[in-house]
C-alpha cells in the first residue's frame, strides 16, 4: 500500500484527510510540525509529502531546506493559505513539485496524489 | 588788545588760530594713532596730523620771535614741515582710498627729503623782513617755486583723488569722503593764503585763520560718520578740551588782566568741578554715541538666543523679520527661503510700513539677482549696484539693478552656508531716511550668518520630523499588514479544514450509497457525528478570529478616551494569536483595582501591546531553543502611581545584550536575524505612541539571557 505524509498543524485536517485517503486505499502518515515530519520521512520514506508552509517552529520551507541538507530525495507538494511568489520560487529551487492553494478540495487532492504516486 | 607783544589785532588772531590748529592737530592725531596703533590708516593719519601740528607751532614761534635771525630759523622749519604735510597727506589718502600710487609716493618721499634739506638754505627762504603790516614775513629764494610746485602737486592731487572717489561712492562712505574733502580743502586752501605775501601779492593770509576748522570738521566726520572708528575717543577729547578750556581759560583771563587774586580764587573754585563736569558730559556723550551700537548688540543677542530655540521654520523667519523691523526700522523687510522642490526662493515672512508695494511671492533660483547675491556673498546696497551699472563693463549689474528695483529694496542680504544660499533678506529704506551705515552692514552680515544656520537647522528638523512621520506610518501599515496576513491565514485554514471534513464526509456517504455492506448506517452515523462536531469546532474557531477583528475595528476611533486596560490587553492578545500560537505561552494579567482604566487611544495602545508580545514571543522562543525546560511566561502587571498607571510587562526570554540596549529605540535597529521577521521599527514607533501621543513614558530593563521588563507609564482616566 502506498504511503503519503500529511504535515499540518490543524488536527482536524490530519484526522479527516487520513480517514479520506484510507478509504481510497492510501496509508496516511501525519505530522503536526516540521520536526515530526522529518522524523517520519527518515523512518518511513513515504511516496509523497503534503507539506503546510506556515507552521509554528520549522516552516515548510525550513523542512525542505533540511531535507536538502540531509540529502534526502523525496516528492513534496507544498500547501499554502496565501500566495507568496518568493516562497514558491524558493520552494521550486529546493526541488519541490509545486504549491497548492488552500482551501483544498479532497477530490482534487486525491487526483494529484494518485498522479504523483503512480509516477 | 594791541598791547600784547605789540602785535596788531589781525596778527594776534592769526597767531591764536594757528596755535589752536597746532594743539587740535596734535591732539587728534595722537588719539587716532593710539586708538589703533596697528592700523596703517591710523598711523598715516597720525603722521599727517603731527606734521600739521609742528608746522603750525613753528608758525606761531616764528611770529613770536624777538629777532629776525630766530624768526628765519622758525620759518625754515615752517616750510620744512609743510613739505612733509603734503607728502604725508598723500600717503594718508592712498591708504584711505586703497588706491595705487606707491611709485608717486616713493618719488615724493625722496623729493621731500631733498627739498626739506634745501629749506635750511637761502635757496628757499632767503631772509625775513616786515611786510604788509606783519613785523616779519619770509622772502623767497631762487628755488622757492620748486618747493611750491611740490607742495601744491601732492596736496591738491590728493584732494582731487578724494573728490573723484567721493563722486563714485555711496552711503556712509560718501559722507565720510565729503567731510574729509571739505576739511582738507579748507585746511590747504586756507594754508595756501600764506604764500601770497611772499610773492608781494596784497592778499592777507586770512585763510590761515580757518585752518583750525579742518580738525573740527574731521572730528565731526569721525563722530557722525564713524570715520576711523574712534568716535568715542574723539568725543571724549573734545569734551575734555572744552571743559578745561573753560575751567582753566577763565582764571587765565583774569591772570592775564593781572587780577592775580581773582584768578587764584576762580582756579580754586573750578578745580574740583573739572573732573565731574568732564565725567558728566562724557557719560552723556557715550550714551548718545553708543545708543545705536547698544541697540545692535541687543538685536544680535535677541536674535541669536531666539533663533537657536525656534525649530519651526515659519516662526523663525517671522522672528527674524520682527527683530530687524524693531532694530533698524526699515519701511519693508522680507525673507525669502530656498525651496528645494520648486527651485525658487519663496517669500517666508514680511512686514511692510507706509503701504509699501506688495512683494514678489517667489524668486526663481535662476534669477540674475540671486546669482549676483550669491557671488557677492555679503549685504549689497542698491546704490552700489546702480553705480556698477553705470560702468559700461557691468552690463549684468544693470539687469540686476532692475530686478532689485522690482523688490523695492534698498539692501539685499544673502544668507549663505556651506556654499549654498539658503535664504536672503530684502530691506527697504530706513523710515528715518538715513543711509545704511557700515555698522548696519556688519550687523546684517552677522545676522544673515546666524539666520542661515538657524534656517538650515529648522529645515533639517522639518525633514527629520517628516521622515519620522513616514516611518511611523510605514510601521503602522506594517502592523496592520501583519495582522491582515495572520487573519487571512487563520480564516483560510478554517475553510481548509472545513473543506477536508466535508469532503471526507461526502466520500463516506458515497461509499455507503455504493456498498452499504462495506459501511452500514450504524457505522456511518458516528462518522457523520464526529464530522459535524469538528465542523462546529472549526466554525467556532473561525468565529473567534472574526471576533478579534471586530474588537480591533471597535477601537478604530482615533480620539483618546477611557479604556479598560484588561480588555485592551486581552484584545491585543487575540490579535497576536492570529500570528503566533499563544498556547505555547503562559500569560498572566495582574491589574490593581485602581489601575483598571487608562486614558488613551485604544488602537495605538493595542499596537503597542501587540508589538511587545510579538517581540517577547520571539525572544522567548529563542530562549526555549537553548533551554527547553523554560516555560515562556509574560506577566502584565499594572498599578496606580499618583495620576498615572504604571504597567510593567515582563517576559523570561533572551533579554537584550548590553551593547544593544542604547540603540533599542532607534528606528531600523533590529537584532532579529531575518529582516522578514522585523524591520526594526517596532520599538521606535512604540516610543512615539507612548511618549508623544499619550504623554507617557516607556523604558525597559533587561539582563541578557534573563528576559526583559518593559515599563509603561500612562495617564489615568479622569472619568475612570
Task: Indicate which CATH number applies to the domain containing B424.
Answer: 3.30.450.40
Q: Could you tell me the pLDDT band of residue B397, with boundaries at 50, 70 and 90?
A: low
Same domain, B153 and B249: no
Phi-psi region of B132 (alpha: psi -120 to 50; beta: other; left: phi over 0): left
- Identify whether B490 is part of a domain: no
Question: B388-391: long-range contacts (C-beta < 8 A, 24 or more apart)?
Answer: none
Which residues in chain B have their CB less than 8 angstroms from residue A13's CB? 496-497, 500
Same domain, B59 and B205: yes
The tens digit of pLDDT for each residue in B259-313 reads: 777 777 877 777 777 777 877 887 787 777 677 777 777 777 777 777 777 777 8
pLDDT value of position B4 = 46
Of B257, B320, B237, the closest CA to residue B35 belongs to B237
Q: Specify whether the CB–CB gap between B500 and A106 falls below 8 A.
A: yes
**Cell numbers for B469:** 512621520
pLDDT of residue B665: 63
pLDDT in tens, B49-58: 899 999 999 9
In this structure, are B403 and B264 located in the same domain?
no
The B residues from 480 to 499 touching A (CB cutoff 8 Å) are: 485, 488-489, 492-493, 495-499
Contacts of residue A48, Cβ cutoff 8 Å, sequence gap at least 6: A4, A5, A75, A76, A77, A113, A116, A117
Q: Which candidate in B497, B510, B536 is best for mutational testing of the A interface (most A CBs within 10 A)?
A: B497
Q: Does any CB of chain B come closer than 8 Å to the CB of residue A87?
A: no
> What pLDDT score does B332 carry?
84
Domain assignment present for residue B479? The answer is no
- Residue B462, in any domain of the structure: no
Q: How far is CA B89 from the centre of its chain?
A: 40
Lowest mean pLDDT, pick from A67-76, B135-144, B240-249: B240-249
Kindly state the average pLDDT of the residues B122-141: 83
- Interface pTM, i.e. ipTM: 0.82
Query: Which pLDDT belongs to residue B404?
Result: 66
Q: Is B197 found in the same domain as B51?
A: yes
- Greater confidence (A97 vs B394) lies with A97
Q: Is residue B539 part of a domain?
A: no
Q: Same domain for B242 and B141?
A: no
Looking at A24-28, B11-15, B188-192, which range is the least confident one?
B11-15
Listed by start position, the domains of chain A span 3-118
B24 plus B83 within the same structural domain: yes
Residues B366 and B256 occupy one common structural domain: no
Do residues B370 and B247 share a domain?
Answer: no
What is the C-alpha separation between B366 and B368, in angstroms, rounded? 6
Q: Pick the range with the lowest mean pLDDT from A16-30, A101-115, B283-297.
A: B283-297
Q: For all residues of chain A together, what is the average pLDDT?
A: 87
Q: How far is Cα B709 from Cα B715, in angstroms, rounded to an integer?
A: 20
Does any CB of chain B come closer than 8 Å to the CB of residue A12?
A: yes
Instruction: Looking at the complex, report in whole angstroms how far the Cα of residue A40 sits from the nearest Cα belonging to chain B.
Output: 21
CA A35 to chain B, closest CA, distance in angstroms equals 13
Query: What is the CATH superfamily name and number for domain A3-118?
Result: Response regulator (3.40.50.2300)
Residue B365 domain-assigned? yes
- Is residue B524, in this structure, part of any structural domain at all? no
φ, ψ of residue B11 in degrees (nearest 5): -65, -35
Mean pLDDT of chain B: 80
Inter-chain CB proximity A102 and B534 less than 8 Å: no
Are B610 and B667 part of one and the same domain?
yes
pLDDT at B214 over 90: no
Nearest CB to A13: which of B485, B496, B537?
Answer: B496
Give domain status of residue B20, yes or no: yes
Instruction: Identify whether B659 is part of a domain.
Output: yes
Tally the domains of chain B. 4
B252 lies in which domain range?
231-302
Instruction: Report how far residue B345's alpha carbon sits from residue B413's, in angstroms, rounded to the nearest whole number.
Output: 13
Mean pLDDT computed over B61-88: 89
- Domain end (from B422, B455, B488): B455
Q: Which of B403, B436, B455 is the last residue of a domain?
A: B455
What pLDDT was estimated at residue B479?
A: 66
- Shared domain check, B121 and B245: no
Both B181 and B43 in one domain: the answer is yes
Say if CB B247 and CB B223 are below 8 A apart: no
Contacts of A107 in chain B (CB under 8 A): 503
Tell me how far CA of residue B330 lies from CA of B361, B425, B433, B514, B557, in angstroms: 20, 12, 9, 104, 52
Kindly state whether A25 is in contact with chain B, defined as any CB-CB distance less than 8 angstroms.
no
Identify whether residues B143 and B220 lie together within a single domain. yes
Contact B503 A106 (CB under 8 A): yes
Amino acid at each position: 500500500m502506498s504511503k503519503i505524509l500529511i504535515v499540518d498543524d490543524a488536527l482536524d485536517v490530519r484526522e479527516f484527510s487520513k480517514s479520506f485517503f484510507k478509504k481510497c486505499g492510501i496509508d496516511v502518515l501525519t505530522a503536526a510540525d516540521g520536526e515530526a515530519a522529518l522524523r517520519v520521512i527518515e523512518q518511513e520514506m513515504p511516496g509523497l509529502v503534503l507539506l503546510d508552509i506556515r507552521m509554528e517552529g520549522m516552516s515548510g520551507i525550513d523542512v525542505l531546506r533540511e531535507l536538502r541538507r540531509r540529502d534526502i530525495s523525496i516528492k513534496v507538494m507544498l500547501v499554502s493559505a496565501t500566495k507568496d511568489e518568493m516562497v514558491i520560487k524558493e520552494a521550486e529551487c529546493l526541488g519541490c513539485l509545486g504549491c497548492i492553494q488552500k482551501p483544498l478540495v479532497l477530490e482534487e487532492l486525491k487526483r494529484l496524489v494518485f498522479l504523483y504516486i503512480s509516477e | 588788545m594791541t598791547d600784547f607783544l605789540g602785535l596788531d589785532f589781525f596778527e594776534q588772531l592769526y597767531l591764536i588760530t594757528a596755535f589752536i590748529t597746532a594743539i587740535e592737530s596734535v591732539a587728534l592725531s595722537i588719539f587716532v594713532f593710539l586708538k589703533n596703533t596697528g592700523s596703517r590708516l591710523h598711523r598715516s593719519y597720525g603722521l599727517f596730523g603731527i606734521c600739521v601740528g609742528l608746522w603750525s607751532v613753528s608758525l606761531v614761534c616764528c611770529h613770536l620771535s624777538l629777532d629776525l635771525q630766530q624768526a628765519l630759523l622758525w620759518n625754515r622749519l615752517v616750510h620744512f614741515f609743510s613739505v612733509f604735510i603734503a607728502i604725508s597727506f598723500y600717503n594718508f589718502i592712498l591708504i584711505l582710498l586703497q588706491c595705487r600710487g606707491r611709485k608717486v609716493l616713493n618719488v615724493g618721499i625722496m623729493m621731500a627729503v631733498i627739498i626739506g634739506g634745501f629749506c635750511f638754505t637761502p635757496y628757499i627762504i632767503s631772509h625775513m623782513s616786515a611786510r604788509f603790516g606783519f613785523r616779519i614775513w619770509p622772502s623767497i629764494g631762487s628755488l622757492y617755486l620748486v618747493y611750491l610746485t611740490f607742495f601744491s602737486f601732492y596736496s591738491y592731487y590728493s584732494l582731487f583723488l578724494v573728490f573723484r572717489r567721493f563722486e563714485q561712492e555711496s552711503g556712509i562712505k560718501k559722507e565720510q569722503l565729503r567731510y574729509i574733502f571739505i576739511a582738507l580743502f579748507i585746511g590747504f586752501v586756507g594754508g595756501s593764503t600764506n604764500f601770497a605775501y611772499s610773492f608781494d601779492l596784497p592778499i592777507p593770509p586770512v585763510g590761515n585763520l580757518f585752518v583750525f576748522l579742518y580738525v573740527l570738521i574731521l572730528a565731526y566726520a569721525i563722530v557722525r560718520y564713524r570715520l576711523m572708528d574712534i568716535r568715542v575717543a574723539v568725543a571724549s577729547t573734545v569734551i575734555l578740551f572744552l571743559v578745561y578750556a573753560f575751567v582753566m581759560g577763565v582764571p587765565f583771563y583774569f591772570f592775564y588782566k593781572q587780577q592775580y587774586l581773582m584768578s587764584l580764587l576762580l582756579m580754586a573754585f573750578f578745580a574740583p568741578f573739572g573732573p565731574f563736569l568732564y565725567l558728566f558730559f562724557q557719560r552723556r556723550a557715550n550714551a548718545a554715541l553708543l545708543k545705536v551700537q547698544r541697540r545692535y548688540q541687543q538685536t544680535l543677542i535677541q536674535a541669536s538666543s531666539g533663533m537657536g530655540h525656534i525649530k519651526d521654520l515659519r516662526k523663525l523667519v517671522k522672528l527674524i523679520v520682527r527683530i530687524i523691523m524693531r532694530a533698524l526700522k526699515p519701511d519693508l523687510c522680507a525673507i525669502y527661503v530656498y525651496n528645494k522642490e520648486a527651485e525658487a526662493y519663496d517669500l517666508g515672512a514680511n512686514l511692510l510700513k507706509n503701504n509699501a508695494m506688495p512683494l514678489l511671492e517667489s524668486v526663481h533660483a535662476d534669477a540674475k539677482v540671486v546669482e549676483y547675491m550669491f557671488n557677492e556673498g555679503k549685504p549689497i546696497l542698491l546704490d552700489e549696484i546702480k553705480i556698477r551699472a553705470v560702468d559700461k563693463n557691468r552690463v549684468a549689474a544693470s539687469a540686476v539693478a532692475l530686478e532689485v528695483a522690482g523688490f523695492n529694496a534698498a539692501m539685499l542680504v544673502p544668507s549663505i552656508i556651506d556654499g549654498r544660499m539658503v535664504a536672503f533678506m530684502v530691506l527697504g529704506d530706513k523710515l528715518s531716511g538715513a543711509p545704511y551705515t557700515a555698522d548696519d552692514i556688519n550687523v546684517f552680515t552677522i545676522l544673515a550668518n546666524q539666520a542661515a544656520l538657524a534656517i538650515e537647522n529648522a529645515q533639517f528638523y522639518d525633514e527629520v520630523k517628516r521622515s519620522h512621520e513616514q516611518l511611523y506610518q510605514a510601521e503602522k501599515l506594517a502592523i496592520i499588514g501583519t495582522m491582515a496576513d495572520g487573519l487571512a491565514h487563520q480564516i483560510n485554514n478554517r475553510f481548509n479544514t472545513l473543506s477536508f471534513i466535508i469532503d471526507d464526509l461526502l466520500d463516506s456517504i458515497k461509499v455507503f450509497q455504493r456498498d452499504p455492506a462495506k459501511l452500514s448506517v450504524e457505522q456511518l452515523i458516528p462518522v457523520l457525528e464526529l464530522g459535524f462536531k469538528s465542523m462546529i469546532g472549526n466554525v467556532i474557531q473561525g468565529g473567534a478570529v472574526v471576533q478579534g477583528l471586530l474588537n480591533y475595528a471597535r477601537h478604530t476611533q482615533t480620539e483618546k478616551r477611557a479604556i479598560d486596560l484588561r480588555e485592551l490587553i486581552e484584545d491585543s492578545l487575540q490579535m497576536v494569536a492570529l500570528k503566533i500560537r499563544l498556547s505555547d505561552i503562559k500569560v498572566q494579567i495582574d491589574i490593581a483595582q485602581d489601575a483598571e482604566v487608562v486614558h488613551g487611544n485604544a488602537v495605538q495602545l493595542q499596537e503597542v501591546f501587540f508589538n511587545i508580545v510579538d517581540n517577547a514571543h520571539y525572544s522567548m522562543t529563542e530562549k526555549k531553543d537553548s533551554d527547553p525546560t523554560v516555560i515562556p511566561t509574560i506577566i502584565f502587571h499594572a498599578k496606580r502611581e499618583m495620576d498615572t498607571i504604571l504597567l510593567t510587562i515582563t517576559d523570561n526570554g533572551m533579554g537584550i545584550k548590553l551593547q544593544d540596549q542604547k540603540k533599542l529605540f532607534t528606528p531600523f535597529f533590529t537584532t532579529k536575524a531575518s529582516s522578514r521577521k522585523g524591520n526594526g521599527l517596532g520599538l521606535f514607533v512604540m516610543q512615539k505612541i507612548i511618549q508623544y501621543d499619550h504623554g507617557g513614558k516607556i523604558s525597559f530593563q533587561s539582563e541578557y539571557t534573563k528576559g526583559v521588563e518593559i515599563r509603561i507609564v500612562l495617564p489615568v482616566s479622569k472619568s475612570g
